[in-house]
Structure 1
Amino acid sequence: MLEVTGVRVALSELDGTDKHERSACKRALAKRLRVGADELAGVERRRRSIDARKRGSVHLTFTLRAGLVGGKAHERDLLGRLARAKADRGVSLVDEDEKAFDFPAPVARAVATRPVVVGAGCAGLFCALSLARAGLAPLLVERGDDAARRAEVVGQHNRTGALDVESNIQFGVGGAGTFSDGKLQTGTRSPAHRLILETFVDAGAPCEILWDAKPHIGSDVLPRVVDDLVRQIEAAGGEVRCRCRMVDLDVSGGRLRAVTLAQEDAGGCVREERVETDCAVLACGHSARDVFELLRDRRVALERKTFAMGVRIEHSQAAIDRALWGPAAGSPVLGAAPYKLSCHLDSGRSAFSFCMCPGGYVVSAASEVGGVCTNGMSLFGRDGANANAGLLANVFPTDLPGDDPLAGIELQRRCERAAFAAGGGAYVAPAQLVGDFLQGVASSAAGRVEPTYPRGVSWGAVDGCLPDYVSNTLRAAIPQMAHHLRGFDAADAVLTGVETRSSSPARVTRGEDGQSVATAGLWPVGEGAGYAGGIMSAATDGILCAEKIVESLAR
């Protein structure tokens, strides 16, 4: 099979439909290979990206695979002809039978206790699925609800302000990623990525995530995808319990002996159960602050790490489209434009955009009573009026007082409580116009950009909700970012506070074998443990953890 990179397709050859795109790709590939379209067999899209380096000539670029009618001999002959004509750049032969990365193989022998996986975010789901397929019958516990019930609870919070501290945007099957667009773009590289994407597609995600350079599933599609992943875990022999959380660990002799689980029934009654196990995967996410406190109390090794805080920034999506796509803005082929910005200041501080949601919405991401925090989400269609992103500045371990490894969590809490107070209660969020923020004055009303935060906003200033070094870094960075994205410093863009949960402020220290350095049998994984930064890297970490567990049993 031939693989060809850099195949260019003009926007004028596309109409936004998949059928039209497949036809255009086949024509472009035939032209590139100097063959007739009827000589190509099985054209497959492996990657699709938007090239907008020249705003007057925006186009799509593909990596395509195809066979030739006549088989491998013809493919080798064609590659030789292209090489002699010096037209073989980006063209190569690939092995159709190349061994793909797969889930761990089944364990050959019986084990004394089954693994317990704590947390059903991406790391926990993929770890539990891997362990189940290996025949280890894992128990996956999640403190929040299943996806359908969770969506109801989130909707109720948005309407009334009532907050369920066990089931919300942070807690529940699918983790925080379920309600933050389901972005699958990652800066990491792993052979597991293709397997993860294929697993999502098998669970009901759109097939274009297999080739889109910036894939996403959408928060309207993700709930049924994670529901299907749960069904797969159960079909493979695993057990999944919702409204069930870990409340204690039995650690002695440097080894895990058991976990204590608290299960809430339909009537709200809680029953505790001690589960004997020598293998617990800690995939609780970085908002499970009570779990971090438990780990500290049980002397599980923890350490501080750099994290980030800031605000959500909202612009008109049409303005972002024009800034990035130029005359092509509004094309159904391109959709809503995303951006990614960063800025390194002379002070040594940095600011960056995070979890950018084209055509999306700012959401209430609170999980503790009396604290406001924000996040962003998009639906699959990304057809909202606004673009939003986290606008964050780094917080370094040296910024924090004392030696408590959880000092960063306490800083997050203080900022969230300050935002709750600034909003006036009921999870209303403080907001400020960018122009006013840059001038250091409070805002009194919206401009042309209407904030999308569902609980409403209270106009004023966001500075008092954040440490000075964060506010000052953002104030210095916005004008510099505007040099790379025209209009980013628009006076009527909206800042909504605060964004505090972008990453974990603490790491559960693990060794090269994947286990806690202080507690054998405890396997920290994912974002909460400090070893991932998004859906793909968290899912990868979950699979690799399962591999290590299987390997340890084999030994």
Structure 2
Amino acid sequence: MIRIAQLKLDIGHTEDELKKKISKQLKLNDQQVKKYTIIKKSIDARKKNDIKYIYTIDVEVNEETKVVKRLNDANISIAEESKYTFAPTGTNKMLHRPIVVGSGPAGLFCAYQLAEQGYKPLVIERGDEVDKRVEEVNRFWKNNELNPNCNVQFGEGGAGTFSDGKLNTMVKEKFGRNKRVLEVFVEHGAPSEILYLNKPHIGTDLLRDVVKNMRNEIIRLGGEFRFQTRLTDIHVEDNRIVSIEVNNKEIIPCDVLCLAIGHSARDTFSLLYKKGLTMMKKPFAIGVRIQHAQELISRSQYGDSYQKLPPADYKLTYQAGNGRGVYSFCMCPGGYVVNSSSEEKRLVVNGMSNHDRAEDNANSAMIVTVTPEDFDAILPLINHGKNEMITSDNPLVGVEFQRRWEELAYQAGKGLIPVQLYGDLCENKISTNYGKIKQIMKGDTSFANLRECLPEYVIDTLIEGIEAFDKKIHGFADKEAILAGVETRTSSPVRIIRDDNMESNVQGIYPCGEGAGYAGGITSAGMDGIKVYEAIACKYKHV
């Protein structure tokens, strides 16, 4: 195949015009081009009056090497195929089938790869399968009655099931795991465009069917899923796992355990710490969700051509005067802000979009970096009135830091999502009504002062950052922009240490994915699940 890079066309081009452009670039007639495949498609909006689509295309023609040599063009070369390949080499005998804890992207891809190679994994998930989970979450958004084991954080598909379904990642690797994740998604119902779009996403509506189809394929290959099944203990002998306990009663023999527990499995973090797994606290970021009219964002990014293009996104970063970073995170074009709580009397928000991103508002997390030093500073407040003291060297102190602000958010909103207009936040007063931007949220809301549920340094940094972002997107600091709090689950507050073979200090336990501190989104979590599968398959042959 010949690869053509930097092929530019007008945003309103037709498929026939794309074909003619390919022929022209190769200086061939249309009949000489056998077929073509889009490898990458992005938008170049640097010139608002001349926005272009930029393609990378693989083309099949006769005598490809000769054609490339004749053209002598830096943007035209022989394509290098990067396909994921891995063959198990393990020789150790696995006494029992491997168990995967969690059915988010990390656990799902680890289980999928294991099932393909005959390992017949058992996947346990504390929440429900996805259809029942959707019903449970919709009931929570309607009635505000939380199920601590099945919610936006827990259940089939993980937290990403109720998100924008973003699939872009900053992780760079040469083994094809990234492409493998996307290809498996497409094989199970995701749109094929995710294979080439510069910023691919599935959307919460389509992702639900994809994870269900992957589950059914794992079962067809000999795997098993058990929902409403929570890990409640692990049993270790001679520093090796021998069994697990689920639902506080059933013992399941186990010598290989993949822990893909997600960033919100706080009770499981506590269990693992008590069982002696080596863990460390890590920095993350907290803040709010901000909503603007999608038209404002799209017009700012694309100018008058915005209606001819998909809803625009943005990525904003700023270094504040106090040295802290403030940035946008998990931006959802045409989406919702959603109540993502998973613990009683604590409240956290996130963003979610369907595949068409058709809602009127854009929303994004606006978050500020926090460090273990920040966790230590509020230890007196965390420990006040408690019998069991949390100390600075406890790796779970970041969890307690998150809980502190989530409790205050719950109180500020009287159990509902606390919201405030940006101008009122600046003036330190509770909002009384919305302006020209209508709120688009899943879950009931209550006007509140967000200064009551975030540290002062976070509020000050957010305001400085939002004012700076207004210089990049005019109107970003609109006084009527809607803020919702709090966003605290941006990444795991802990890292479960693993060695070069992906094992924890307890043999047979493989920490995996975002919850273990090794990923930051759907794709990178899926890739980490594949890496853990490889580690298991390099050591063990299946039962």
Quickly name the TM-score band, shorter chain normalised.
over 0.9
**Alignment of 1:294 onto 2:271:** yes
2:51 aligned partner: 58
| 2:446 paired with 1:458 | yes
1:515 is matched with 503
Q: CA shift at 1:109, angstroms?
A: 7.5
Count of equivalent residues? 525
2:292 counterpart letter in structure 1: H
1:151-550 → structure 2 map (5 Å cutoff): 151-190=134-173, 191-262=176-247, 272-331=249-308, 334-401=309-376, 402-425=392-415, 428-516=416-504, 518-550=505-537
Is 2:21 the partner of 1:28? Answer: yes
CA distance in 2 between counterparts of 1:28 and 1:179 reads 40
Letter in 2 for 1:218: G
Query: Secondary structure at the residue paired with 1:400?
Result: helix
Question: What's the CA shift string for 1:356-408, capped at 9, x where partnerless?
Answer: 00000001101111111100000000000000001111111121122221111
Q: Distance in 2 between matches of 1:310 and 1:128?
A: 34
SS in 2 for 1:445: coil
- Alpha-carbon distance in 2 for matches of 1:99, 1:162: 48
* Post-superposition offset of 1:99: 6.0
Amino acid at match of 1:234: I
1:4 corresponding residue in structure 2: 4
**More divergent stretch after superposition (29-38 vs 103-112):** 103-112
Structure 2 unaligned spans of 5+: 377-391
Query: Do the aligned partners of 2:88 and 2:538 also contact (CA within 8 Å) in 1?
Result: no
Offset at residue 79 of structure 1 (A): 1.6
Secondary structure at 1:391 match in 2: strand
Q: Which residue of 2 aligns with 1:81?
A: 70
Q: Is the 8 A contact 1:40 1:67 kept in 2?
A: yes
- Amino acid paired to 1:251: V
Query: Contact 1:303 / 1:405 at 8 angstroms: preserved in 2?
Result: yes
TM-score (norm 1): 0.92
Is the 1:287–1:528 contact (alpha carbons within 8 Å) kept by the matching residues of 2?
Answer: yes
Q: Secondary structure, in 3 states, of the residue corresponding to 1:55?
A: coil
Which whole-Å CA distance do the structure 2 matches of 1:243 and 1:108 have between them? 34
Mapped contact 1:283–1:528 kept (Cα < 8 A):
yes
- C-alpha distance 390-104 of structure 1, shift in aligned 2 (>3 A): farther
Partner AA of 1:136 in structure 2:
Y
User: What secondary structure does 1:157 align onto?
Assistant: helix
3-state SS in 2 of match to 1:186: coil
Deviation of 1:81 (Å): 2.1
SS of residue matched to 2:490: coil
2:285 and 2:370 in contact (8 A); partners too: yes
Residues 8-35 of structure 1 show CA distances to partners (whole Å, capped at 9, x for unaligned) of 010232xxxxxx4x43321221222222
The alpha-carbon distance between structure 1 residues 106 and 510, as it changes in their structure 2 partners (threshold 3 A), is closer
CA distance in 1, matches of 2:199, 2:279: 34
Q: Greater shift after overlay, 431-440 or 318-327?
A: 431-440
The answer to whether the Cα contact below 8 Å between 2:91 and 2:539 also exists between their aligned partners in 1 is no
CA distance 1:105–1:381, shift in 2 (3 Å): same
- The alpha-carbon deviation at position 454 of structure 1 amounts to 2.4
RMSD: 1.6
Q: Distance in 2 between matches of 1:335 and 1:104?
A: 40
Conserved? CA contact 1:344–1:350, under 8 Å = yes
Instruction: Check the 8 A contact 1:254/1:520 in 2, yes or no.
Output: yes
Percent same amino acid at aligned positions?
A: 39
Q: What is the CA-CA distance between 1:527 and the residue it aligns to?
A: 0.4
Cα distance, 1:344 vs. partner?
A: 1.1
Alignment gaps of 5+ in structure 1: 14-19, 263-270
Which residue does 2:384 correspond to in 1? none
State the TM-score, normalized to the length of structure 2: 0.94
- Cα distance in structure 2, aligned partners of 1:223 and 1:188: 24
* Contact residue 463 and residue 471 of structure 1 kept, 8 A: yes
Q: Distance in 2 between matches of 1:502 and 1:102?
A: 32
Q: Distance in 1 between matches of 2:85 and 2:146?
A: 40
Amino acid at match of 2:44: D
Question: Equivalent residue of 1:399, what SS?
Answer: helix
Match of 1:119 in 2: 102
Alpha-carbon distance in 2 for matches of 1:488, 1:527:
30
How many angstroms apart in 2 are the aligned matches of 1:129 and 1:237? 10
Aligned letter for 1:193?
Answer: N
Cα distance in 2, alignment partners of residues 130 and 431 from structure 1: 43
Secondary structure, counterpart of 2:230 in structure 1: strand
CA contact (8 A) 1:102 1:195 kept: no
Q: Which amino acid aligns with 1:510?
A: R
Alpha-carbon offset, residue 38 of structure 1: 2.2
Separation in 1 of the partners of 2:462 and 2:249? 46
Are the equivalent residues in 2 in contact too, given 1:186–1:536 (CA < 8 A)?
yes
User: In the alignment, what sits opposite 2:388?
Assistant: none
Which amino acid in 2 is paired with 1:548? A
- What amino acid sits opposite 2:21 in the alignment? A
